[in-house]
Amino acid sequence: MARFRLAAAVLFIALINSAPGWAQQTQSDNSSNQTQSKQTPPQKTVTPQTPPEPQRRNEAQGIMAPRATGPESEINKFHFFGSVKVRFEDNNYFSSKKADGNYAYGGSILRFGVRRETSKEDFLLELAVPALYNLPTHSTGPSPQGALGQGASYFTSNHSQVASLFPKQFYEKFKHVGDPNSSLQVGRFEFIDGAENRVADGSLAYLKQNRIANRLLSPNPFSYVGRSFDGVHFTNQSSNHTFTFVGAMPTRGGYDLMGGDELNNIRVGYIADTVPKGGSNSKHVSDSRIFAIFYQDTRGSDVAKVDNRSASARQKDWDPLNIATIGGHDVRIFPLGSGRMDTLLWGAGQFGKWGQLNQAAYAFDAEVGYQPKDSHLKPWYRIGYYKGSGDGNGNNGVHGTFFPMLPSGRTYARFPFFATANLTDGFIEQVLRPTPKIVVRSDVRFLGLADKHDLYYTGSGAYDDSNFGFTGRTSSGSSSLATLYDTSVDYQLDKTTLFIAYAGFAHGGTILSSIYSNRDAFFAYLEVQKRF
């Protein structure tokens, strides 16, 4: 009953924040708030996790992104904006006799700031106030169990601290740099790989947001703290391509409430060119990208690397990570019979130095879907298979585990008990859209390890100076991880208010049964997002 009382309190707070005064609309709602350059007007199509008017949502922030300044008469003026996200989580993790994985907790993040747009430049300052409620205090077990769920990770990172205040974004964006299609953003900002351009077709936008973006560089939006980047972001965007360059250092965050500090020993360089084809009225639409990422981590003796070598070998390796990742994606949607079919390909290869080892790894994802013509439920059926390579020999001088760098902690693991390193993920998915305001998504995922001689990895990338960012647990010589069944419901109450409910059940395989005393786990949450 205590959990349901906590859930009711969280939702009550959110509903108070949804009072009419917060929901007033202005002409600025008709403009996108994206910090990217020019955009293609979105199609008025209801798609999974995309509300009736997709321009009102930011891939990093949901509906929480600040509104654009609006009509020409308001240019050069300062405008205040804000948003709040409140979530209650119920966690019944894989059980342990030494720690309690059965707990409920909550969290929120308030974001507010000021912005100004002119014909030559934009300015934005946004502050964040994350807060944590009722964290579990005895939910971390001995190795190899570790933290039993994300609540345990938040407590380990923050202990008695329950809130903080820090600058989330603080940048100046210069327009028409060299030509009218170019812009240069300097300062602290959020960035998502794979989301450099907006597309008009609603289904294509869904695939980019949920199956392409956030794989390798992400603001980690499910976290109560998130992640920002300090650096420069250059964009040249026209109707037929988007060229992007980013050079930056990530901030702390993730589980760590001190999200304003910079991780200045980690550096990221990103370059990409994205080519969309087809508009809102096109039957055939596509989006293709090639990219390259350079990742450097020089934390050295402060942080031990996580891989399948012996502990003594890892403790002697203080050389930096210098890893290059080259890859691309191609997404296509076209008519087939009375409906629409989609194909999606994503892939990347890695080389460079993993400390004293040579890095040689890869990952790929192949998916196909079909939307039959159905005027009532508007179903969408999809299947796919992902593989992130593992390492078969910890003593041969080569590190073969794919390294996802700084990804979203949840986009590709809706029940986040696994990472995309050394992973195979085959899935079937059904999406139903019975009304313009409701989206129901149900997945079944068959999870395994790409190589049973490697570790089972969890995590979402570096979030402070003392934590590598990923955790490795023994595979016990097996590749059988789990089968995951989950369902989510998104309800778009109005243009500024979104409710999300999620429930996931995992039935563990040999790996999880060898680590925990119970191989089954359950995770659910209720969330409210509100923009004002």
For 418-465, the pLDDT digits (tens) are 999 999 999 999 999 999 999 999 999 999 999 999 999 999 999 999
Residue 27 has pLDDT above 60, yes or no: no
The pLDDT of residue 262 is 96
| Range from 43-47, 98-102, 240-244, 291-295 carrying the lowest mean pLDDT | 43-47
Angle at 226 between CA 223 and CA 231, to 5 degrees: 160
Cβ–Cβ contacts within 10 Å for residue 120, how many? 9
Amino acid present at 72: E
Residue 73 has pLDDT above 90, yes or no: no
Residue 20 has pLDDT above 70, yes or no: no
The pLDDT of residue 278 is 87
Query: Which H or E run includes 204?
Result: helix 202-207
pTM for the model stands at 0.87
Give CA–CA dist 31/198, Å, rounded. 13
Tell me the percentage of the chain whose pLDDT exceeds 70.
86
Q: Quick one: pLDDT band at residue 361, thresholds 50, 70, 90? A: very high
The pLDDT of residue 470 is 96
Whether residue 144 is preceded by a cis peptide bond, meaning omega within 30 degrees of 0, is yes
Angle at 401 between CA 398 and CA 406, to 5 degrees: 125
Tokens representing residue 525 in the block: 């949450």
Q: Average pLDDT, stretch 263-277?
A: 96
- Return the beta strands (E) in 200-239 as ranges: 229-237
Summarised one tens digit per residue, pLDDT across range 87-125 is 999 999 998 888 999 999 999 999 999 999 999 999 999
Angle at 156 between CA 154 and CA 159, to 5 degrees: 90
- The distance of Cα 93 from the centroid of its chain, to the nearest Å, equals 21
**CA distance between the termini of the chain:** 32
Residue with tokens 């009509």: 71
Query: Which H or E run includes 444?
Result: strand 438-448
Residue 16 has pLDDT above 70, yes or no: no
Residue 21 has pLDDT above 80, yes or no: no
Give CA–CA dist 114/403, Å, rounded. 37
The pLDDT of residue 66 is 59
Tokens representing residue 128 in the block: 């964040």
Summarised one tens digit per residue, pLDDT across range 378-387 is 999 999 999 9
Q: Average pLDDT, stretch 363-375?
A: 94
| Range from 83-87, 138-142, 294-298, 498-502 carrying the lowest mean pLDDT | 138-142
Tokens representing residue 100 in the block: 């309690």
The pLDDT of residue 164 is 97
Q: Average pLDDT, stretch 384-404?
A: 97
The pLDDT of residue 46 is 37
Q: Quick one: pLDDT band at residue 281, thresholds 50, 70, 90? A: confident
Give CA–CA dist 44/379, Å, rounded. 17
Summarised one tens digit per residue, pLDDT across range 209-225 is 999 999 999 999 999 99
Domains and CATH numbers, the chain: 2-531 (2.40.160.100)
Chain mean pLDDT for the chain: 88
Q: Quick one: pLDDT band at residue 526, thresholds 50, 70, 90? A: very high
The pLDDT of residue 65 is 60
Cβ–Cβ contacts within 10 Å for residue 290, how many? 14
| Range from 4-8, 21-25, 208-212, 231-235 carrying the lowest mean pLDDT | 21-25
- Between the alpha carbon of residue 467 and those of residues 255, 309, 353, 459, the distances in Å are 11, 18, 20, 10
Closest CA to 295 of 263, 267, 314: 267
Say if residues 53 and 495 touch (Cβ distance below 8 Å): yes
Closest CA to 191 of 248, 151, 143, 237: 248
Q: Average pLDDT, stretch 221-234?
A: 97
The pLDDT of residue 420 is 97
Give CA–CA dist 51/150, Å, rounded. 28
Amino acid present at 209: Q
Continuous H helices in 79-198: 150-158
The pLDDT of residue 178 is 87
Q: Average pLDDT, stretch 36-64?
A: 40
SS3 category, 205 = helix
Give CA–CA dist 9/301, Å, rounded. 45
Long-range CB contact pairs, 368-376, < 8 A, 24+:
368/341, 368/342, 368/343, 368/344, 369/341, 369/342, 369/344, 369/429, 370/336, 370/339, 370/340, 370/341, 370/342, 371/203, 371/339, 371/340, 371/341, 371/342, 372/337, 372/338, 372/339, 373/338, 373/339, 376/434
Say if residues 110 and 129 touch (Cβ distance below 8 Å): yes
Q: Quick one: pLDDT band at residue 75, thresholds 50, 70, 90? A: low
Residue 47 has pLDDT above 60, yes or no: no
